[in-house]
A and B are shown apart, each in its own frame.
Chain A
Amino acid sequence: MTGKFTVALAQVSPKLGLLKENLQLHLDTIRRAKSEGADLVVFPELSLTGYILQDLVPDVAIDPLNSPSLRQLLQGCRDIACVFGFVEISDRYNYYNAAAYVAEARIQHVHRKLYLPTYGMFDEMRFFAMGEKLRTVRTPFGPLGMLICEDLWHPSTLYLHVQDGARVVVTLSSSPGRGVRTHEGFQTSQGWETLLKALSQFYTVYNLYANRAGIEDGAYFPGGSMVVGPVGEVIARSQTSGEDLVLAELDLDEIRRARLFTPVLRDERLDLTLRELTRIVRQRSQS
C-alpha cells in the first residue's frame, strides 16, 4: 500500500443491549464503507452494545477470540480493516470496555479502556475493569493507536502511542452532548474539537474521532465525528448530529512534512520525562 488510504468514520446509533441488531448494523455499514472505497472503518465506543449498559454489561459481553456471534463480522473484514467497540469478558471474568482492530478477517488487537469516567453522569468504574496496557498495532497504515473516549482526555495516552510509533490514532467515543449556552454547539463538542486539533498539532499525527449518534434515556449523542490532520486541521467532519459515514483520504507524507516543519516529536526528551516522573512518583509515595 502507498502512503495514501481512505478512512470511514461510522457515526452510528446502536440499540441498547441488542447485539444481534447491532451486528447487522455493523455488517451493513462495513459493506457501505467498502463500496465507498474505504480501507479502514472506525465505529464508536461500545458500538456493538450501546453505551449506558449498567447491569446489561455481563449479558452483552463476549470473548473476542472465541465468539460465534463475531464470526460474520470478521468475515466481512477480509478486504477492509475495522475498529469497533464491545464489552470483553476476560478469562478472569473481568469485564472491559474494549475496542478491537480487525483485518484479514481476524482480530489483530484489543484495546481495553484505560480511563473509566466515574463522575457526573458517568458510572463506568462500577461496571467495568480498567485496562492496564497501551500498545500500537501493526497495520498497512503503519503503527495504529487505539483509544476509547475518556482515554484521550489524558494526553499521556496519545503521548505514549506516538512515542511508540503511531501515525494514526483512532478514538472511539460515546460522548453525550452537554452545555447549550454558547453559540457554537454543545460545549462538550467544542471541547473535543479543541482537544483533537491541539493534540494533532502537538504530536503531528492523524487523529480519527468517531462519536456516536442517537439518544439513550435523554442522553443525546451529537456525533461530530472528525478527522484531524498532523498540523491540527480538520480534514473531514460529520455535517449532521444523526447517523453518518464520514470519509477522508489520509496521506502519510503529510505527517512527514508536518514533522519536517515542526520536529517537536524528534526533540522530545523521553529520558528527561521519565526521570522527572520517577522522581514525582517517588516523592508522592513518600509524602
Chain B
Amino acid sequence: MQLNCPLVNQVLQSFIRDELSKAGFHRVVVGLSGGIDSAVSCFLAARALGPENVLAVMMPYRTSSPESLFDARAVVEALGVQSEIVEITSIVDGYFEAQLRANSLRRGNAMARARMIVLFDKSMEFNALVLGTSNKTELLLGYGTLFGDMASSINPIGDLYKADIFKLARYLQVPQSILDKKPTADLWAGQSDEDELGFTYAEVDELLHELIDRRVSRRELLEKGFKKDFVQLVVNRIRGSQFKRCGPVVCKLSPRSVSHDFHYLRDWGM
C-alpha cells in the first residue's frame, strides 16, 4: 500500500488553509499527545499556516507517561509552534472524587473528554479551530472516544490509515523517537493500541484497505489468505462503532428534518 506523500502533503495543506479561511479563521489549536497522529496533524498545520498560527496544547494526566510529554515537546521544538501545557488531573479527579466505582474505561473516556473541553475552550481564546487527530483506522474501528479525541472542527488525517500516517510522518520528518515507539492511547501505564485491539495495525490496515477502499468480498478476502475469524472480528468492530461516526439520531416528524432531508454542506455560502 504505497502513498504519494508529496501529493498528500500538498492537498492536506491546501485543505487546512482553505477550510479555515472559508470559515473566517487562520489559526488552529491541536492537542499534542506525543504520539504520531497528533504530530502529523501538527506538522501539516505548521507548514500550511506558519508555526505562529498553531497552538499545540499538551494535556497530561497524572498517570501519563513522561515520555509522551517529552515527545510532544520535541514536536513543538522542531516546528517552533506556540505551545501550552494544561494538566487535566484536577478536572478528571475532581469529577471522579464522587464516582468511586468508575473503571479504567470510564476514566479513560473522561480524560479524552476533558482534553476536548480544554481544546475547544482554547480555540475560543486563540481565535482558532480545533484540528482533528483521528486516523482512518481508528475511525473505522471506533477506537476513539465519542465527543473526546474524535471531536474536532477539521480533520486532515481522517482518510489516512495508520500505515499511511507512518509514511507521511517520515516524509514530514517527524522526530525519530515518535516514529520508533509503539502506538498507545496512554490512558494508563503500559497501554498499547495493538495489545488492546488484539491485532497489529499492519494486519488491520491491509484488511481495511481491501474491505473498505476496494470493496473486496468476504470470499475474495479468504482466498487472499485473511483468517475468517479476523475478518469477522474487524467487520463486527466496524458495524458496532457506526454510532461513533454519525450525529445523534433525530426522530423524523416534519416534512423537512435536520439529519434526514435537510441537505446542505458545511461550506454552504463560503
Residue ranges of A at the interface with B (Cβ–Cβ < 8 Å): 15-18, 52, 54-56, 177, 180-186, 214-218, 220, 222, 241-242
Q: In the complex, which residues of chain B have a beta carbon less than 8 angstroms from the beta carbon of A186? A: 7
The docked-state distance in angstroms from the alpha carbon of A177 to that of B7 is 11
B270 pairs with A55, CB closer than 8 A: no
From residue B254, how far is it (CB to closest CB) to chain A in Å? 15
CB-CB nearest in chain B for A127? B263
From residue B257, how far is it (CB to closest CB) to chain A in Å? 12
The docked-state distance in angstroms from the alpha carbon of A20 to that of B13 is 28
A56 pairs with B270, CB closer than 8 A: no
Listed stretches B14-22, B135-143, B184-192, B194-202; interface member: B14-22
Q: In the complex, which residues of chain A have a beta carbon less than 8 angstroms from the beta carbon of B263? A: 54-55
B19 pairs with A56, CB closer than 8 A: no
CB-CB nearest in chain B for A13? B18
Q: In the complex, which residues of chain B have a beta carbon less than 8 angstroms from the beta carbon of A54? A: 263-265
Q: In the complex, which residues of chain A have a beta carbon less than 8 angstroms from the beta carbon of B266? A: 217
From residue B136, how far is it (CB to closest CB) to chain A in Å? 12
From residue B186, how far is it (CB to closest CB) to chain A in Å? 28
**Can you list 20 A-B pairs, Cβ within 8 angstroms, ordered by A?**
A18-B269, A52-B265, A54-B263, A54-B265, A55-B262, A56-B268, A181-B1, A181-B2, A181-B4, A183-B2, A185-B4, A185-B7, A215-B15, A216-B267, A217-B266, A217-B267, A218-B154, A220-B14, A220-B15, A242-B14
State the majority secondary structure of interface residues on A.
loop
Q: In the complex, which residues of chain A have a beta carbon less than 8 angstroms from the beta carbon of B8? A: 180
Residue among A177, A184, A218 making CB contact with B19, cutoff 8 Å? A218
B10 at the interface (CB under 8 A from A): yes
Instruction: Given the known inter-chain contacts A182-B4, A214-B18, A215-B18, please indicate yes or no for A177 contacting B11, CB distance below 8 A.
Output: yes
B91 at the interface (CB under 8 A from A): no
CB-based closest 8 A-B pairs: A54-B263, A217-B265, A55-B263, A215-B18, A180-B4, A217-B267, A216-B267, A16-B267
Q: In the complex, which residues of chain B have a beta carbon less than 8 angstroms from the beta carbon of A180? A: 3-4, 7-8, 11
Interface size class, chain B: 20 to 34
B264 pairs with A55, CB closer than 8 A: yes
CB-CB nearest in chain B for A217? B265
Work out how many contacts link A and B, with CB atoms closer than 8 A: 59
CB-CB nearest in chain B for A218? B15
The docked-state distance in angstroms from the alpha carbon of A56 to that of B268 is 9
B18 pairs with A16, CB closer than 8 A: no
Q: In the complex, which residues of chain A have a beta carbon less than 8 angstroms from the beta carbon of B154? A: 218
Residue among A18, A182, A183, A241 making CB contact with B10, cutoff 8 Å? A241
Beyond A54-B264, A180-B7, list 10 extra A-B contacts (CB 8 Å).
A17-B269, A54-B265, A56-B268, A181-B3, A182-B2, A186-B7, A215-B267, A220-B11, A220-B14, A241-B14
Q: In the complex, which residues of chain B have a beta carbon less than 8 angstroms from the beta carbon of A184? A: 4
The docked-state distance in angstroms from the alpha carbon of A217 to that of B1 is 26
The docked-state distance in angstroms from the alpha carbon of A177 to that of B264 is 21
The docked-state distance in angstroms from the alpha carbon of A182 to that of B3 is 7
Residue from B8, B154, B265 whose CB has the most chain A CB atoms within 10 Å: B265
Residue from A55, A56, A218 whose CB has the most chain B CB atoms within 10 Å: A218
Q: In the complex, which residues of chain B have a beta carbon less than 8 angstroms from the beta carbon of A220? A: 11, 14-15
CB-CB nearest in chain A for B154? A218
Q: In the complex, which residues of chain A have a beta carbon less than 8 angstroms from the beta carbon of B4? A: 180-185
The docked-state distance in angstroms from the alpha carbon of A237 to that of B2 is 27
From residue A180, how far is it (CB to closest CB) to chain B in Å? 5
The docked-state distance in angstroms from the alpha carbon of A177 to that of B4 is 13
The docked-state distance in angstroms from the alpha carbon of A55 to that of B19 is 21
From residue A174, how far is it (CB to closest CB) to chain B in Å? 13
Chain B residues 105-134 with CB under 8 Å of chain A are none
From residue B217, how far is it (CB to closest CB) to chain A in Å? 18
Q: In the complex, which residues of chain B have a beta carbon less than 8 angstroms from the beta carbon of A15? A: 269-270
The docked-state distance in angstroms from the alpha carbon of A242 to that of B15 is 12
From residue B231, how far is it (CB to closest CB) to chain A in Å? 22
The docked-state distance in angstroms from the alpha carbon of A16 to that of B90 is 44
B3 pairs with A216, CB closer than 8 A: no
The docked-state distance in angstroms from the alpha carbon of A54 to that of B256 is 14
The docked-state distance in angstroms from the alpha carbon of A194 to that of B262 is 38
CB-CB nearest in chain B for A21? B269
CB-CB nearest in chain A for B16? A215
The docked-state distance in angstroms from the alpha carbon of A182 to that of B6 is 11
The docked-state distance in angstroms from the alpha carbon of A185 to that of B3 is 10
